[in-house]
Amino acid sequence: MFKVIWDQDQHKQLSNSIKENKTFQMLSENDGLKKGQVGILCETDDMSELKPILDQIKFEHTLLVFPTHDGWVQILVHKIMFIESFKEDIEMHMLGKNTEVIKQPLYQLEKILKPYQFIRIAKSYIVNLRKIRYIRVTFNAKLACELTNGEIVYVTRSYVKKFKDAIGIK
């Protein structure tokens, strides 16, 4: 049996998706938790059912530190939409149309962010796969990815196969 508890305000969306899953029981203050906490109870010893939920919680709380021109900035990974390179400057585009200019090579960012479902889609772009809403085929065998914030980024021809493999398209 597993019991997972987290702060209610930070995980409303996750809580809603868990409520739809019949294999878990939602826990609240009525079940002995502190005020403001929610939790799940999984009667099975099968971790494979719980792993996606734990991965989501981990993803929402992952905070990375990146160098900037005048110091360091902390950014929650789940807020990053895509990363764009302009020679020496790397722009990190985030939720709410915020942008941070950081000083770290794109190839290093690609390695750092790969475990969080980020993928290189062009020589100067990395995208958060979790933020893609829709994918369209365009001219010259490119793909246009519409993100959840309405922005569009393009997968160039040389990255299409790797991109399709990453998201499971044949």
> What is the mean predicted confidence (pLDDT) over 100-123?
93
Residues 6 or more apart whose CB falls under 8 angstroms from that of 117 comprise 128, 129, 130
Q: How confident is the model at residue 119 (pLDDT cuts 50, 70, 90)?
A: very high
Task: Give residue-wise pLDDT tens across range 137-153.
Answer: 998 889 999 999 999 99
Q: Residue 13 has what pLDDT?
A: 57
Between CA 43 and CA 136 the distance in angstroms is: 42
Torsion sign across C-alpha atoms 170, 150, 111, 85? positive
Q: Is 112 exposed, middle or buried (0-12, 13-18, 19+ CB in 10 A)?
A: middle
What CATH homologous superfamily does 63-167 map to?
A: LytTr DNA-binding domain (2.40.50.1020)
- Specify the pTM: 0.72
Whose structure tokens read 């065998």? 141
Q: Is pLDDT above 50 for 86?
A: yes
pLDDT classification of 49: cutoffs 50, 70, 90: low
- Domains of the chain: which residue ranges? 2-61, 63-167
